[in-house]
């Protein structure tokens, strides 16, 4: 970062803080954990510097997950106060999500930067299309009765959420709604999934990145503590604001605007891999 001027550094600082505020609001509003915003922005910021390109995505994903631990606690508490967290569903999906998230964090060691960008871009584009579609996909009028099937669905959710550096809502809310779970209950429960994803995933990323050369100062594995410390106060403070909005207004237009942002980000990330 030595080659950046003071105005450029100031712009980066303002950009990170602004992104953290938006991420916090979206965490509460849509149950997405904020990582779907944080990861691409952190990645592009690192890309502006002389930071090793193959480490950029790993650091962005891991640092995002570290902030999601605390953001999800704030968001889940706000939803719980409004009766939005389904404890039986949380208990049903918890084992698969935890195991999947830990597996995803550990697997990151064997996936290069292009691979992580490709995974993020492809899944983010599918999520954007789903969010922008007026008619919600419905698979069934209830969740599967089999614990094994629920375990498989939750494992996949945890695994890919960890690799993308996101909370549970980005993948689990569309899935739960497809199984006819009421959207506010899905969002509230997904905010709690974020905790179950982020903690084991961060452990995996710390382990996977331990001893890797080229990381910035104040890093534990792939997690940069300085960046996480800058982001956290804003995401945690603004998550309850998003939860309040979610329970008071129709988030349809916000979802569509976010879908557009997400689609543009996903396409740019995919172009950086295949371009």
Domain extent listing, the chain: 6-274
The pair of structure tokens assigned to 101 is 């998230």
Please name the residue ranges forming H helices in 108-224: 113-132, 147-164, 169-178, 183-209
The predicted pLDDT at position 155 comes to 96
Q: Does the global pTM surpass 0.95?
A: no
Structure tokens at 113: 């930067």
Is 239 in contact with 79 (CB distance < 8 Å)? no
- Which tens digit of pLDDT belongs to each residue from 250-273? 767 767 777 787 788 788 888 878
pLDDT of 2 higher than 50: no
At a CB cut-off of 8 Å and minimum separation 6, what does 155 contact? 96, 97, 99, 100, 103
What is the rounded average pLDDT for all residues in the chain? 83
Q: Of 56, 26, 59, nearest to 194 (Cα)?
A: 26
Tell whether the model's pLDDT for residue 4 goes beyond 60.
no
d(CA 45, CA 269): 13
Q: What pLDDT was estimated at residue 251?
A: 62
Q: Label residue 88 exposed, middle or buried (CB < 10 Å: 0-12, 13-18, 19+).
A: exposed
pLDDT in tens, 120-171: 889 888 888 887 887 767 788 888 889 999 999 999 999 998 988 887 777 8
Task: Render pLDDT for 38-81 as a digit per residue (tens, 0 to 9).
Answer: 888 788 777 777 677 778 889 889 998 998 888 788 778 888 88
What does the alpha-carbon distance between residue 194 and residue 35 come to, in Å, rounded to a whole number? Answer: 10
């Amino acid at each position: 970062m030595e080659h950046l001027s003071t105005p450029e550094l100031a712009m980066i600082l303002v950009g990170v803080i602004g992104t953290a505020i938006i991420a916090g609001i979206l965490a509460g509003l849509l149950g997405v954990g904020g990582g779907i915003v944080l990861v691409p922005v952190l990645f592009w910021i690192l890309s502006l510097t002389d930071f090793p390109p193959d480490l950029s995505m790993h650091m962005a994903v891991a640092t995002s997950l570290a902030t999601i631990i605390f953001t999800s606690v704030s968001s889940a508490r706000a939803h719980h106060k409004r009766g939005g967290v389904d404890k039986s569903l949380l208990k049903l999906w918890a084992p698969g999500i935890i195991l999947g998230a830990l597996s995803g964090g550990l697997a990151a060691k064997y996936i290069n930067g292009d691979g992580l960008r490709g995974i993020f871009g492809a899944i983010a584009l599918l999520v954007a299309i789903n969010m922008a579609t007026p008619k919600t996909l419905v698979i069934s009028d209830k969740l599967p009765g089999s614990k094994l099937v629920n375990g498989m669905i939750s494992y996949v959710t945890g695994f890919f959420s960890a690799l993308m550096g996101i909370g549970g809502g980005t993948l689990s809310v569309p899935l739960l709604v497809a199984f006819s779970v009421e959207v506010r209950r899905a969002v509230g429960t997904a905010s709690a999934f974020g905790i179950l994803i982020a903690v084991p995933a961060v452990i995996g990323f710390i382990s996977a990145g331990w001893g890797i050369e080229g990381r910035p100062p104040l890093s534990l594995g792939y997690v940069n503590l300085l960046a996480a410390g800058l982001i956290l106060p804003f995401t945690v403070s603004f998550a309850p604001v998003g939860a309040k909005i979610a329970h008071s207004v129709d988030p349809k237009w916000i979802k569509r605007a976010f879908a557009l942002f997400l689609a543009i980000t996903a396409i740019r990330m995919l172009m950086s891999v295949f371009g």
